[in-house]
Amino acid sequence: MYQFSRRIYRELAPLVTQDSTGECRQRLLESCEATVERLARDRRYFARPARSLFGDVRSHFTLSDQQYVYRVIDRNVSLAITYLEQLPPGFDIGTGPRECRASTRRGTPCQREPLPGRDYCPSHKHLEEPLEQTPVAAEQTPVAA
């Protein structure tokens, strides 16, 4: 996933508005890496990653460059999503150990590992939302005339 965040940074770094300390380029790099890492960890709960990253970094570019900046971000985020979708189910891309998304009664994060292909551990599996909800057609009884 490193290659996607660095590709965005390399294409956009020359366009960053100049500052004497280089803080803008550093913030651009950190935002790119954070977005791609979040995309790899919980893609299901990251609705618009390109829009989010653009919102984070748009202040570092001139108004005339912002359309180009969004296109670069959108293209590379789409490539990252395509790459992630091609991975086999349950494949670990090295983002660290998987963690249950639930919290305990004390408010601390659950320490258990989730079930394969799920976001929650066996204790919290009842919190899992179904990916697709199919509407159940109501059975109609014929009306006798």
- Give domain status of residue 137, yes or no: no
pTM confidence score: 0.65
Say if residues 118 and 125 touch (Cβ distance below 8 Å): yes
pLDDT 10s digits, 19-30: 777 788 899 999
Q: How confident is the model at residue 57 (pLDDT cuts 50, 70, 90)?
A: very high
- Give domain status of residue 10, yes or no: yes
- Give domain status of residue 72, yes or no: yes
- Give domain status of residue 131, yes or no: no
Percentages (nearest 5) of helix, strand, coil residues in the chain: 55, 0, 45
pLDDT 10s digits, 105-142: 888 888 887 777 777 788 887 877 765 555 555 555 55
State the average pLDDT over residues 77-86: 88
Count up the domains in the chain and report the number: 1
Say if residues 21 and 27 touch (Cβ distance below 8 Å): no
- Range list of H helices, the chain: 2-12, 23-41, 49-57, 66-86
- Give domain status of residue 28, yes or no: yes
pLDDT 10s digits, 22-53: 788 899 999 999 998 888 877 777 889 999 99
- Give domain status of residue 112, yes or no: no
- Give domain status of residue 95, yes or no: no
- Give domain status of residue 7, yes or no: yes
103-141 b/e (C-beta count within 10 Å ≥ 16 → b): eeeeeeebeeebeeeebbbeebeeeeeeeeeeeeeeeee
Query: pLDDT value at position 128?
Result: 76
Structural domain boundaries, residue 18: 2-86
pLDDT at 10 exceeding the cut of 80: yes
